[in-house]
Amino acid sequence: MKLAGKVAIVTGSGRGIGRAIAVAFALEGAKVTVTARTKHEIEVAADEIRRQGGAAIAIAADVSREADVEAVVSATVSQFGQIDILVNNAAINLPTIETVDMNPEDWRRVIDVNLTGPFLCARAVLPHMVSRHTGKIINISSIGGRRGARGRGPYRAAKAGLINFTETLAAETGRSGINVNCICPGGVDTEMIRQISRGSPSGQLMRPEEIAAVALFLASDEGSAITGTSIDAFGPSNPLFN
């Protein structure tokens, strides 16, 4: 098993990409903390892992709240004894809204979850990783982090910031044996994309499991030579095809 003996925290793992990552990690031997804001969703995800013979706990949390993040980290260490992997996947988005019509509260909420959340989570787990001189942090950005687009200001700004934060964190932690990388998915069949597209996403979409496979590679020893890198996993939405 590629992650035997490892402990992972996966944020936003009640559904979509995060859930697929949590399940993939558990199937490869990791003990997983499943966390998101919706308690029912994460409990279902944790039950799925346990039914397949894996180990998981479900902790409801909002990653934009420092106290919630600290509670997730504390519960993980208490239950599993260590933290080896962090996947910053939790994110929110808005329907198309141009800047002139943007409510500042909506702007702040997207930035808080999509960019400040990964900062808070990384800061909370780093002492545990540094003390053991090992760790993997994987940030989930987006094809939207590579360029701006009309009506997508806060989401794309946060995702672009997450790419830069990945490089910064890798530079700061490399000597401590920690790898920090980023995945930029293109269109993936998730509840979020259906919400923002009002149930009719355009184009062919990838499966969440395809992104989970990239995360598994980065989390395993197979990805040990890679850090400070953002991997574009655009699938059919690759601009090269248009």
Active site residues: 155
Q: If we measure between CA atoms, which residue out of 192, 9, 229, 220 comes closest to residue 117?
A: 9
Question: Could you tell me the end-to-end alpha-carbon distance of the chain, in angstroms, rounded to an integer?
Answer: 39
Q: What is the DSSP letter of 97?
A: B
CA distances 12 to 90, 207, 217, 229, Å, are 4, 16, 19, 22
Name the phi and psi angles at 52, rounded to 5: -90, 10
From residue 56, give the alpha-carbon distance in Å to each of 35, 139, 178, 213: 10, 21, 23, 19
Query: How far is residue 120's CA from residue 228's CA, in Å, rounded to a whole number?
Result: 19
Cα 241 to chain centroid, rounded: 26
91, 140 Cβ separation under 8 angstroms: yes
